[in-house]
Amino acid sequence: MVKPRIPETDQGVQGEFIVEIYDKMSRKFRDRKLLQTNQIIKAGLTHGLALEIGPGPGYLGLEWLKKTDKTNLMLLEISPDMITFAKKNTREYGFESRVKYVLGNALIMPFNDNMFNSLFTSASLHEWSHPNKVFNEIHRILKPGGRFYITDLRRDMNPVVKCIMKIMVKEKELKSGLISSINAAYTIEEVRSILDKSKFNDHKVTQSVFGLDLTGVK
């Protein structure tokens, strides 16, 4: 029996202290090669202008730029404190000319129609207060033929796997956030239902031990 979903904050990670801790954890994940960069590329997101929703400190998108040619990236982030850290990391990578950060909410994206070749995001889906609206916004801002790749946790993960994840997150300040994120995450059936009601006709949802992977084409 899967427990009912408990919605989480839709305001992202706020506050300089907690953002700094989150940045350190994300950097460790990058160094251990635990980011989904290769999966994004395998999903066909390899060229042009991409948008990342909820980039946090930015490592996923920066690693994507590092592994692709002639690409540029815009990042939509709701937390001003997180943008400050992400800009610092962008300078560290030397990608200032290829990256632009935008403060905003995915429910109403401040972008023109048919603007992006692709879109990706990791661990933000469960924070969207109205996912149907966000998916329709994604459809609006993607060019015809544009692709998306979305990955997130799953609420019905094995209890042993959940325990392993808690062990992996060593920062005590972030453990409670991990638990609330898992409780707010979706099951594969719930996500399929959401996508079926969106403007996307071509989409696919698969699940792994840790979470869900969503792909689609406009």
Q: Do residues 98 and 127 make contact, with C-beta atoms less than 8 angstroms apart?
A: no
Q: How far apart are CA 207 and CA 168, in angstroms?
A: 20
What pLDDT is recorded for position 50?
A: 98
Closest CA to 11 of 86, 120, 103, 119: 103
Closest CA to 170 of 34, 24, 32, 19: 24
Residue type, 74: M
What residues in the chain have per-residue pLDDT under 50? none
Angle ∠(133,121,174) on CA atoms, nearest 5: 105
HEC readout, 144-203: EEEEEEEEEEECCCCHHHHHHHHHHCCCHHHHHHHHHHHHHCECHHHHHHHHHCCCCCEE
Three-state DSSP at 104 gives: coil
In the chain, the domains with their CATH numbers are: 16-217 (3.40.50.150)
Q: Which residue has the tokens 């059936």?
A: 189
Q: How far apart are CA 93 and CA 68, in angstroms?
A: 14
What pLDDT is recorded for position 12?
A: 57
Record the tokens describing residue 164, joined without a space. 């392993």
What pLDDT is recorded for position 19?
A: 87
What pLDDT is recorded for position 18?
A: 83
What pLDDT is recorded for position 17?
A: 66
Q: How far apart are CA 112 and CA 2, in angstroms?
A: 39
Please give the distance of CA 46 from its chain centroid, rounded to a whole number: 17
What pLDDT is recorded for position 158?
A: 92
pTM across the whole model: 0.94
Please report which helix (H) or strand (E) contains residue 52, including its range: strand 48-53
What pLDDT is recorded for position 167?
A: 83
**φ and ψ at residue 83, rounded to 5 degrees:** -60, -40
Q: Which residue has the tokens 């939509």?
A: 76
Residues in contact with 166: Cβ distance below 8 Å, sequence separation at least 6, in sequence order:
175, 178, 179
Q: Do residues 97 and 72 make contact, with C-beta atoms less than 8 angstroms apart?
A: no
Record the tokens describing residue 161, joined without a space. 């796997």
